[in-house]
Structure 1
């Protein structure tokens, strides 16, 4: 096979790969809309696209999550330049937060950031996320924290964001919201689902006016191990993290005639 054929084959694979990522990401936006994890036209979910350049896809600023489709996602580079010729507008804070992680983490192909009421409530609490509920126990020791510096438009914050996240896949942005990342859309979604549910249960439990009943460290360690190695993979070693859950949600979108693939 000559170099020209190799190059053409590689380009074709990148195009096919990008189309897949576009559909996966558009579905992610629709799923978040279904769960109410939206902030009108704000917040973001991003995906790296195949290829040597660190290009990633983000929602077009001004669209509601239920309006996002595979074709209207915007491709930008790590400097915030739109590289798909669309001239579409993107949100600056979304670029700052997501580009920081895409630049630093080879495994963070998908990143989701939310401002849910429960997520921001826990982010404002001194103690942060409690491990002492069914969902919190699954995340014991796995959650990173990043201190609030104001609206994330200062590119110098990217280095501190990356340092705060380290090698973790769950992060609470203090006074701000939640963030999760993953090698696939399924993994990033499942992690955000765990984090969001942990916050919801914590907030509702504390509304009863009593502290959460504590779990032992041994139980917490066991729960984390069970969740990360078995539960999130559908108790199937061949499945990827969150795969079964995400596929079920996409089937639901398709059955309802969702336009996310357009």
Structure 2
């Protein structure tokens, strides 16, 4: 039996350059998440809100992360209605989480929510993320926690989700997974890379069985200045072009 590969008609001629770039960047995020092993089959979501609109892009239901293309992304409004024709539906739980964040945070142009194994493992720990690694240093000054309320299908969860995220970049959904926001794909992706790495390090350090050494609170507090100095005035975009090249090498076709 031959399994047909998915083919998506191009929508590039139907959108402006700003939206097309966001589509390409978001599709790259999906492909990179697959390459890094962060997927939960088809059951998590990465989204991008189109500037000056109430429309955002989300993955088509039933498509693996390594199949997502710029043209396959479904464009919906904050009520979940499609605003561009698509043969695919979207997942209600993913819509609730992402529409809530995009509505509450106009600055969150990109939102990533994952059920990565390490992230879920740490989200199940009472103490949450521990200050035991340089990777955690990037996260802890802008980290919130959201208690588990079941599968995200109830409108009542919108208020608590928005409250717990507030103006932070990182949110640990207890017993559930990780969420990051960003003004760009680079911003949200680099944040998730640090978040997931910090969780992986924590799980492995705990598995070693020895006492864990924590980073001093004053070092944690000074992390934003240290990070800015280390980047020499360059933001997360410094790593985005190399990541796009990696996606093009290892998972070509996302920009179609």
Q: Does the TM-score normalized on the shorter chain lie above 0.5?
A: yes
The corresponding residue for 2:5 is none
Aligned pairs for 1:201-212 within 5 A: 201-212=201-212
Q: Does 1:175 align with 2:169?
A: no
Q: Does 1:38 align with 2:39?
A: yes
What's the offset of the Cα at 1:187? 0.1
| Structure 2: distance between partners of 1:153 and 1:169 | 23
Q: Does 1:242 align with 2:241?
A: no
| Structure 2: distance between partners of 1:43 and 1:226 | 32
| Structure 2: distance between partners of 1:174 and 1:81 | 29
| Structure 1: distance between partners of 2:104 and 2:152 | 17
| Structure 2: distance between partners of 1:138 and 1:65 | 26
Contact 1:133–1:212, Cα closer than 8 Å, also in 2: no
Let me know the Cα RMSD of the aligned residues.
1.7
Q: How many residues align?
A: 244
Distance 1:257 1:210, change over 3 A: closer
Q: Which of 175-184 and 150-159 deviates more?
A: 150-159
What's the offset of the Cα at 1:87? 4.4
| Structure 2: distance between partners of 1:18 and 1:137 | 33
The corresponding residue for 2:185 is 185
The corresponding residue for 2:254 is 260
| Structure 1: distance between partners of 2:127 and 2:243 | 33
Q: Helix, strand or coil: the match of 1:53?
A: coil
What's the offset of the Cα at 1:222? 2.8
Per-residue CA distance 1:2-34 (angstroms, 9 max, x = gap):
xxxxxxxxxx9x711111110010001001011
The corresponding residue for 1:217 is 217
Normalising to structure 1: TM-score of the pair? 0.89
| Structure 1: distance between partners of 2:73 and 2:130 | 36
The corresponding residue for 2:50 is 49
Per-residue CA distance 1:176-203 (angstroms, 9 max, x = gap):
0000000000000010011101000000
Q: Helix, strand or coil: the match of 1:141?
A: helix
Normalising to structure 2: TM-score of the pair? 0.91
Distance 1:70 1:130, change over 3 A: same
The corresponding residue for 2:99 is 99
Per-residue CA distance 1:77-130 (angstroms, 9 max, x = gap):
000111102242100110000000100111100000111111001100000000
What's the offset of the Cα at 1:161? 0.4
The corresponding residue for 2:120 is 120
Per-residue CA distance 1:38-83 (angstroms, 9 max, x = gap):
0111100000113x43100000000000000000000000001111
| Greater RCO structure (CA 8 Å; 6+ sep) | 2
Q: Which runs of 5+ in 2 are unaligned?
A: 1-12
Contact 1:139–1:224, Cα closer than 8 Å, also in 2: no
